[in-house]
């Protein structure tokens, strides 16, 4: 892992984003980049004039007015962006990171995200943003779309940072699940001192295929000299996983994102979104 992209908007989640980002950056000697997008929608300023009446020199007056309105707004936005990035640098420095690149494009996060994501190996973003800071059971406006469209592992952080001591890997034997295994094996050096719990949720006790997959996965992780606890449980994945998280005081949940087809997602919402919403811990999602 070389580059970690931290997406920040200066909300209450920013601090934990930086801390989680720093944790990974330290572990893997990766470079941290902080991305803060100045939303282009804020550029549309309103004169609040619906009179439809234009007098002498109307276009010049309107131009002057728009320029001064936008000037004030842009100045505030720029100031805000600078503060956010400054704060990011301070926090990351305090966390012991040296080089931090700061990015401040103007546009829509969802639009320009991919330009920056392409250069990163992992993306860190907050569960919610400035638009929905306190709606505690809901997700932010961008997160679903970003996680869904990103090809890189996405770390979704809660509002407060907790050191990562126990990791739970929700493993289902799918290609995405195997990619998570590979990720752990490739980056094994960074996870040496963390407990890794490997969990497979089966529909019934006698699901041989899942048991076999689990055994294989356990073997792969053990051969990478990781500290592994493997288990297989039955039931509804959402419930089982969140129960396991509580029981074992898991601090990071790793899983594949959006395993189900789109239709099911539309009707009842995917396991991922359910877990994202209810969990109070950081989640590392893979596509």
**Interface with other proteins by CB under 8 A: which residues?**
41, 44, 46-60, 62-63, 66, 70, 81-82, 85-86, 89, 101-108, 111-112, 115
What's the min distance (Å) between Cβ of 3 and other proteins?
14
* Cβ proximity to other proteins, 27 vs 89, nearer residue: 89
What's the min distance (Å) between Cβ of 71 and other proteins?
11
* Cβ proximity to other proteins, 95 vs 101, nearer residue: 101
* Cβ proximity to other proteins, 116 vs 183, nearer residue: 116
What's the min distance (Å) between Cβ of 8 and other proteins?
13
* Cβ proximity to other proteins, 44 vs 263, nearer residue: 44
Distances (CA, A) of 159 to 20, 107, 127, 129: 11, 25, 8, 10
What's the min distance (Å) between Cβ of 80 and other proteins?
13
* Cβ proximity to other proteins, 50 vs 263, nearer residue: 50
What's the min distance (Å) between Cβ of 119 and other proteins?
12
DSSP sequence for 86-149: HHHHHHHHHTT---EEEE--EE-HHHHHHHHHTT-SEEEEESS-GGGSS-TTS--TTHHHHHHH
* Cβ proximity to other proteins, 110 vs 268, nearer residue: 110
Closest CA to 97 of 159, 24, 37, 157: 24
Query: Is residue 266 classed as helix, strand or coil in its secondary structure?
Result: helix
* Cβ proximity to other proteins, 47 vs 236, nearer residue: 47
What's the min distance (Å) between Cβ of 82 and other proteins?
7
What's the min distance (Å) between Cβ of 85 and other proteins?
6
Q: In terms of C-beta distances under 8 Å and separation of at least 24 residues, what long-range contacts does 20-23 make, across chains too?
A: 20/124, 20/155, 20/157, 20/161, 20/282, 21/92, 21/124, 21/155, 22/91, 22/92, 22/95, 22/96, 22/97, 23/95, 23/161, 23/163, 23/164
Closest CA to 230 of 274, 270, 184: 184
What percent of the chain is helix, strand and coil (3-state, nearest 5)?
45, 20, 35
How many C-beta atoms surround the C-beta of residue 174 within 10 A? 12
């Amino acid at each position: 892992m070389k580059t970690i992209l931290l997406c920040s908007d200066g909300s209450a989640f920013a601090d934990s984003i930086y801390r989680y980002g720093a944790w990974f950056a330290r572990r893997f000697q990766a470079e941290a980049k902080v991305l803060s997008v100045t939303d282009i929608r804020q550029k549309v300023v309103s004169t609040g004039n619906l009179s439809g009446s234009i007098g002498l020199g109307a276009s010049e007056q309107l131009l002057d007015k728009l320029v001064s309105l936008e000037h004030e707004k842009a100045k505030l936005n720029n100031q805000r962006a600078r503060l956010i990035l400054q704060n990011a640098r301070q926090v990351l420095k305090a966390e012991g990171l040296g080089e931090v690149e700061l990015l401040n494009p103007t546009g829509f996060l969802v639009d320009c995200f991919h330009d920056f994501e392409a250069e990163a190996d992992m993306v860190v973003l907050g569960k919610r943003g400035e638009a929905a800071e306190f709606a505690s059971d809901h997700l932010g406006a961008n997160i679903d779309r970003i996680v869904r469209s990103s090809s890189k592992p996405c770390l979704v952080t809660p509002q407060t940072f907790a050191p990562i001591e126990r990791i739970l890997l929700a493993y289902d034997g799918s290609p995405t699940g195997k990619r998570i295994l590979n990720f752990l094996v490739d980056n094994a050096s960074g996870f040496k001192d963390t407990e890794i719990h490997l969990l497979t949720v089966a529909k019934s006790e006698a699901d041989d295929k899942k048991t076999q997959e689990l055994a294989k996965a356990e073997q792969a992780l053990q051969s990478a000299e990781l500290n592994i606890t493997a288990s297989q449980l039955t039931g509804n994945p959402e419930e089982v996983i969140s129960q396991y998280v509580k029981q074992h005081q898991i601090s990071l949940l790793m899983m594949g994102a959006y395993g189900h087809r789109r239709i099911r997602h539309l009707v009842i919402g995917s396991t991922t979104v359910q877990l994202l919403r209810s969990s109070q811990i950081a989640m590392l999602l893979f596509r």
